[in-house]
Amino acid sequence: MRSFLLVLIAVASCHGVFADPVEPSPPELAPEALVGEPIAESRVQPIPVLEGHVWAVPRLLEGLAHDDPAVRARCCFLLGQIGDHSVLDALAERLDDADRDVREFAGMALSRMGDWRGYHATVAAMRGNRWWIRFWAVDAIGRNLWSSSFAPMLRDPDELVRKLATEAQERTWGPVEAQVAYGGPAEASIDEIVYFFVNYLVGETDWWWHAGDYPQIIRGLETAVWLDPSYVEGFANAAYLYWSLGRNTEAIATYRRNVYLNPDSPDAQWELGFYYFNAQRRYEEAIPVLQRAWELGCRPEDAHVLAHALENVGRPREALALWREFARAEPESGVVRLNIERLGGILGDG
């Protein structure tokens, strides 16, 4: 996982209602410190780890006018998480954006802060095909007295969304308004701000890991990789957890998204190839992906699976040649030596 320490630098000072700087909590305690109370392991609501980071607001407001709709949508989401009500009118202007994602994330941000202008766009987000966005939409709607709007979500195909809708129906959460104003690097670019905030979301997923709640981890990781599509490890971790939960369609889609968005990453290629090899025994499909990972510079010990795949599809001479190539990179490896001896003996090419 990403280092959570880097982003904590951003909370080293505070302004507004506090006169003195606020010392950052240790990474493992940050989610509970931000909530202000111990977190029950039965919790369903997301942990508001981005709330109060008003230092980023000016740059994110600039981002609302960015040429790239993906940047505009991310800025809408982050402004809603921060909870600074001074941005409401700027968000409302994005409700007429040409891009659907921008409209929906602007609506969710407004609804999250109790502004009725976001209602229709948030309802539209609840009807989308990405479950983690539906989760955020229910979180936004559930903070207002609009309970009839999320009643259909009680039958949502995703269990975590259903749980959140059930909790929202039982008691309405109040709209978000930042109670603290953290200071930070005002000169940071939008990309740097996103990187900082993704680290916070990773910190939240670490809490869910210790709570044993894999769907919440995936929800946080899906959000993180949407914010930062270069976060290769985030895709890999989300895909692995989908796989672990038996959600194989989502697993393979996530592995493939990682490769599509990060085609030059050996890790992205290897993770997809290993899934084909290990989870689905689709050796023929694994081979070109693993070969690409090896070409891009994956570690020799990770590329061993490529040699095994070649052998599994009846190409043992190619496998042996590859083991010998590994031997040049790993001259002390007993695994490599034993496989060379084994295949050499089978092929009479010792």
- Examine the pLDDT at 41 and tell me if it is beyond 80: no
Tens digit of each residue's pLDDT (9 = 90 or more) over 141-168: 988 866 667 778 899 999 999 999 988 8
Q: Which residue has the higher pLDDT, 178 or 17?
A: 178
Q: Band of the pLDDT at 124, cuts 50, 70, 90?
A: very high
Residue 15's pLDDT is 35
Residue 338's pLDDT is 96
Tens digit of each residue's pLDDT (9 = 90 or more) over 319-331: 999 999 999 999 9
Residue 22's pLDDT is 47
Under a CB-based contact definition with an 8 Å cutoff, are residues 257 and 235 in contact? yes
* Residue carrying structure tokens 């997923």: 205
Q: Band of the pLDDT at 18, cuts 50, 70, 90?
A: very low
Residue 1's pLDDT is 46
* Residue carrying structure tokens 């697993």: 251
CATH 1.25.10.10, the chain: domain bounds: 5-182
- Examine the pLDDT at 206 and tell me if it is beyond 60: yes
- Examine the pLDDT at 86 and tell me if it is beyond 90: yes
Residue 211's pLDDT is 85
- Examine the pLDDT at 34 and tell me if it is beyond 70: no
Q: Band of the pLDDT at 16, cuts 50, 70, 90?
A: very low
Residue 6's pLDDT is 42
Architecture of domain 5-182: Alpha Horseshoe (1.25)
Architecture of domain 229-347: Alpha Horseshoe (1.25)
Average pLDDT over residues 48-58: 92
Residue 33's pLDDT is 57
- Examine the pLDDT at 21 and tell me if it is beyond 50: no
Nearest of 139, 121, 203 to residue 176 by alpha carbon: 139
3-state secondary structure of 158: coil
- Structure-derived torsion over alpha carbons of residues 139, 236, 60, 124, reported in degrees to the nearest 10: -40
Residue 172's pLDDT is 66
Residue 144's pLDDT is 85
- Structure-derived torsion over alpha carbons of residues 154, 160, 163, 164, reported in degrees to the nearest 10: -90
Under a CB-based contact definition with an 8 Å cutoff, are residues 275 and 251 in contact? yes
Residue 350's pLDDT is 61
Under a CB-based contact definition with an 8 Å cutoff, are residues 182 and 22 in contact? yes
> What angle in degrees, to the nearest 10, is found between the helix axes of 232-244 and 266-274?
10
Residue 37's pLDDT is 54
At 331, phi and psi to the nearest 5? -65, -20
CATH 1.25.40.10, the chain: domain bounds: 229-347
**Cβ neighbours of residue 292 closer than 8 Å, sequence gap 6 or more:** 269, 273
- Tell me how far apart the alpha carbons of residues 268 and 266 are, in angstroms, rounded to a whole number: 6
Q: Which residue has the higher pLDDT, 25 or 113?
A: 113
Residue 5's pLDDT is 35
Average pLDDT over residues 97-104: 98
Q: HSE (CB half, 13 Å, CA atoms) of 61?
A: 14
Residue 121's pLDDT is 97
* Residue carrying structure tokens 């490890």: 233
If phi > 0 it is left, if psi is from -120 to 50 it is alpha, else beta; for residue 114 that is left
Tens digit of each residue's pLDDT (9 = 90 or more) over 247-292: 999 999 999 999 999 999 999 999 999 999 999 999 999 999 999 9
Pinpoint the alpha helices (H) of the chain. Answer: 5-8, 30-35, 57-63, 69-82, 88-93, 100-112, 119-126, 131-141, 159-170, 190-211, 214-227, 232-244, 248-261, 266-274, 283-295, 300-312, 316-329, 334-347
Residue 201: count of CB within 10 angstroms of its CB: 27
At 310, phi and psi to the nearest 5? -60, -45
* Residue carrying structure tokens 């040429």: 67
Tens digit of each residue's pLDDT (9 = 90 or more) over 302-323: 999 999 999 999 999 999 999 9
For the chain, helix (H) and strand (E) counts, in that order, are: 18, 2
- Tell me how far apart the alpha carbons of residues 83 and 337 are, in angstroms, rounded to a whole number: 59
- What is the rounded average pLDDT for all residues in the chain? 88
